């Protein structure tokens, strides 16, 4: 919610400045591949696994051109990005009775993916961009211990390159770009045990297509 408020306030500021220095608004579709490493520390025993997955999502953006070369923008994803549900069976080593085994399920939602960036026009149409990106991480789990993990967030950086072309001469434009994201990692601790899960080296490559209008 805090990120939504910041996004709305920023948008209102942009709109308030539009008559003086211009404004770009638009929508975008993104497809990408992300990779990360998960490590679980359960009762002193560590296990880790690398995972990769493809994502697609839509976003909205607003930009203020500070001059002919530099623009400042904010991109916001209004929908939740949901992971698949991971399921495993934990064996109770203290007994041979299989009925004491526990099935554990974990699913993750990535919410309020927000990017603030600066875009530099190199030539007519060609640009590079750099910025910061944040996303809230909500864990949904069913664990044999009855415990749960707190929600957290990831934050990092984004670098990109792309091309913007005018359409129709009335301020409309089409943009294509490629981006590299580094979201770092985070550690969460179970509510009633000392078990910890660490997510690290979360990185992604994305391709984006956007349409917008300049005012």
Q: Over 50: is that where the pLDDT of 19 sits?
A: no
What pLDDT, in 10s, does the model give residues 157-174?
999 999 999 998 788 999
Q: Between these two residues, 22 and 48, which has the higher pLDDT value?
A: 22
Once rounded to an integer, what is the mean pLDDT over residues 85-93? 57
Q: Collapsing DSSP states into helix, strand and coil, what is residue 122?
A: coil
Do residues 144 and 103 touch, judged by C-beta distance below 8 A? Answer: yes
Structure-block tokens of residue 158: 């984004």
The pLDDT of residue 186 is 80
Which CATH class for the 2-87+100-214 domain? Answer: mainly beta
The pLDDT of residue 102 is 59
DSSP for 38-100?
Answer: EEEEETTEEEEEEEEEEEEEEEEEEEEESSSSEEEEEEE--S-EEPPPEEEEE--TT-S-GGG
- Confidence band, pLDDT 50/70/90 cuts, at residue 78: very high
Instruction: Of 128, 77, 112, 107, give the one whose Cα is nearest residue 1.
Output: 112
On whether the pTM is more than 0.75, the answer is yes
The pLDDT of residue 121 is 95
CA distances from 163 to 31, 65, 120, 150 (A): 17, 16, 11, 40
Phi, psi of 28 (to 5 degrees): -145, 155
Q: What is the dihedral of CA 10, 11, 16, 18, to 10 degrees?
A: 120
The pLDDT of residue 57 is 95
Burial class (CB in 10 A: 0-12, 13-18, 19+), 71: buried
The pLDDT of residue 159 is 97
- Confidence band, pLDDT 50/70/90 cuts, at residue 87: low
Lowest average pLDDT, out of 3-17, 95-109, 157-171, goes to: 3-17
Q: Provide the residue ranges of all domains of the chain, joining segments of one domain with +.
A: 2-87+100-214
Q: Where are the beta strands (DSSP E) in 18-44?
A: 24-42
Residue 77: other Cβ atoms inside 10 A:
19
Once rounded to an integer, what is the mean pLDDT over residues 54-67? 91
């Amino acid at each position: 919610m805090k990120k939504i408020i910041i996004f709305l306030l920023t948008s209102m500021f942009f709109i308030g400045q539009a008559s003086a220095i211009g404004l770009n608004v638009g929508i975008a579709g993104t497809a990408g591949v992300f990779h990360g490493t998960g490590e679980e520390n359960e009762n002193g025993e560590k296990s880790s696994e690398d995972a990769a997955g493809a994502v697609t999502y839509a976003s909205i953006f607003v930009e203020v051109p500070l001059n002919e070369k530099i623009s400042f923008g904010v991109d916001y994803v209004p929908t939740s990005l949901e992971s698949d549900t991971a399921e495993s069976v934990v064996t109770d080593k203290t007994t041979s009775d299989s009925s004491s085994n526990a099935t554990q399920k974990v699913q993750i939602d990535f919410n309020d993916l927000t990017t603030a960036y600066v875009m530099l026009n190199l030539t007519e149409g060609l640009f590079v961009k750099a910025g910061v990106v944040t996303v809230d991480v909500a864990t949904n789990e069913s664990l044999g211990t009855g415990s749960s993990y707190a929600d957290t967030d990831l934050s990092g950086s984004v670098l990109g390159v792309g091309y913007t072309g005018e359409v129709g001469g009335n301020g409309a434009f089409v943009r294509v770009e490629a981006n590299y994201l580094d979201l770092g990692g985070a550690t969460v601790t179970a509510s009633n045990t000392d078990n910890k899960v660490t997510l690290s080296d979360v990185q992604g490559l994305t391709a984006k297509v956007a349409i917008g209008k300049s005012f």
